[in-house]
Amino acid sequence: MRIITLVIGKKGAGKSKWILEKKDEMLSEGWEKIDAINEADRNTAIFVLKSPIGDVAILNSGSDTHSIIKDFGAFLARHTEVSQIFTAIRPQKVNPRLYLWMKRELNNIEGDVEKRIEL
């Protein structure tokens, strides 16, 4: 079972800021960074963190293009141990294609729990 938190908002709503603040909060709570790509690019950064008890989380700030979303999906597929996912996502009503592409890359499986944070 994975807990998937969708951080939903239009362009400029603060999705990346929310993701980066969540990453910093988790690091301050003792989580350790075990993998990352595009760390310096707030619009495409992806982080993998591991808790002191072994839980693994992935945080994704990218949701602007099909290629960014596909790159996230490929990165996620390499981290099968992930139990928590935090990802930026565009609202379905605003951009249904970006929304559906992200949902497809998340590849929800039975038992996954989805939470929504709307900005």
Are 72 and 105 spatial neighbours (Cβ–Cβ below 8 Å)? yes
Q: What is the mean pLDDT of residues 85-103?
A: 96
Query: Strand 84-89's sheet: what is its strand order?
Result: 32-37, 46-50, 56-60, 84-89, 3-8, 113-118
Q: In this predicted model, what pLDDT tens digit does every residue of 14-33 receive, in sequence order?
A: 999 999 999 999 999 999 99
Q: Is 38 left (phi over 0), alpha (psi -120 to 50) or beta?
A: left
Residue 102: both structure tokens together? 């992200």
Please give the pLDDT value at position 116. 97
* DSSP per position, 28-49: HTT-EEEEEESTT-TTT-EEEE
Are 79 and 35 spatial neighbours (Cβ–Cβ below 8 Å)? yes
Q: What is the mean pLDDT of residues 9-16?
A: 94
Looking at the chain, the whole-number percentage of residues with pLDDT higher than 70 is 100
pLDDT at 79 over 90: yes
Predicted structure pTM score: 0.96
Query: Rounded CA gap, 15 and 28, in Å?
Result: 20
Q: In this predicted model, what pLDDT tens digit does every residue of 27-67 receive, in sequence order?
A: 999 999 999 999 999 999 999 999 999 999 999 999 999 99
Band of residue 81 on the pLDDT scale cut at 50, 70, 90: very high
